[in-house]
Homo-oligomer: A and B are copies of this chain.
Amino acid sequence: MSVMPGVSEAGAARQRSASFAILASKSDGALALLDRIGRPVTLRRDQALFHEGDAARYGFKVIAGALRSCRLLADGRRHITEFFLPGDYVGLNGEETHGFTAEAVSAASLVQYPLSAVEKIASAQPQVSKSLLALLRQHLSAAQQQMLLLGRKNAVERIASFLLAMGERSDDSEHVLLPMTRGDIADHLGLTTETVSRVFTQLKAQHVIQLKSTTEVRVTDVGALEELAAAA
């Protein structure tokens, strides 16, 4: 139930220089074609990439750092739909206006694609439009899984599921980095900061995880974590 400080800068800060290595996502496939038309973008921590309701003119790929996508209630209650990590695409849903706000969880580097150019490539390259469609389907499936979590899992099951999911997205599934705050995790899992913190402490006491720092988790007992996650 946290409220973000007013990050009013609507546009993304651009940087003209930069020729940092373009990161190839695990299963990019056809979407690697988009990188030809990409321009670099950087964000400071908590800076918005775009806001809910903004006209969608660009799509993005995360190179480094992490983002969050948020939806808000009128009184400030927040839900974080998902986190975007290096290799993830943001804003390629083909909407006229963005359906959520995207903000940097930590300082982040991205590549920006003009959607007009994306459409042109997609209509010329069926593989690209297929990949975009697959992306959309994956997001829908993940959203359905998250609804099950939010509607039916308890605090421990939510955290366990989250850690396993983050593990699967990282190079070493037993060494998980959490660039976001406890409050961000809480807003993603439908909990409070305090509950997230307490469950971490509890899992640590049960020797299921180790906390090397607040942002670095070592999963010492994957089996137990999977047990606790109450999988489908």
Q: Does A151 belong to the interface (CB within 8 Å)? A: yes
Give complex CA distance A139, B100 in Å. 14
Contact A74 B190 (CB under 8 A): no
Contact of A232 among B72, B140, B190, B230 (CB under 8 A): B72
Q: Which of the listed residues A71, A94, A144 has the most CB atoms from chain B within 10 Å of its own CB?
A: A144
Q: Which residue of B lies closest to A71 (CB)?
A: B148
A147 to chain B, nearest CB (A): 6
Contact B73 A137 (CB under 8 A): no
Q: Does A214 belong to the interface (CB within 8 Å)? A: no
Contact A144 B145 (CB under 8 A): no
Give complex CA distance A111, B145 in Å. 28
Give complex CA distance A81, B148 in Å. 8
Give complex CA distance A143, B139 in Å. 10
Mark each residue of chain A from 118 to 157: 1 if its CB lies under 8 Å from any CB of chain B, else 0.
Answer: 0000000000000001001101110111111011110000
Contact status of A94 and B230, CB under 8 A, knowing A71-B148, A151-B190, A152-B79: no
Q: Which residue of B lies closest to A152 (CB)?
A: B77
Contact of A136 among B72, B140, B146, B190 (CB under 8 A): B140
Q: Does A187 belong to the interface (CB within 8 Å)? A: yes
Give complex CA distance A181, B142 in Å. 27
Q: Does A78 belong to the interface (CB within 8 Å)? A: yes
Q: How large is the interface on A (under 10, 10 to 19, 20 to 34, 35 or more residues)?
A: 35 or more
Contact B94 A190 (CB under 8 A): no
Contact A74 B232 (CB under 8 A): yes
Give complex CA distance A151, B99 in Å. 18
Mark each residue of chain A from 201 to 232: 1 if its CB lies under 8 Å from any CB of chain B, else 0.
Answer: 00000000000000000000000000000111
Instruction: Give 9 nearest A-B pairs by CB, closest first.
Output: A151-B190, A150-B150, A143-B143, A79-B148, A77-B152, A79-B151, A71-B148, A150-B151, A140-B140
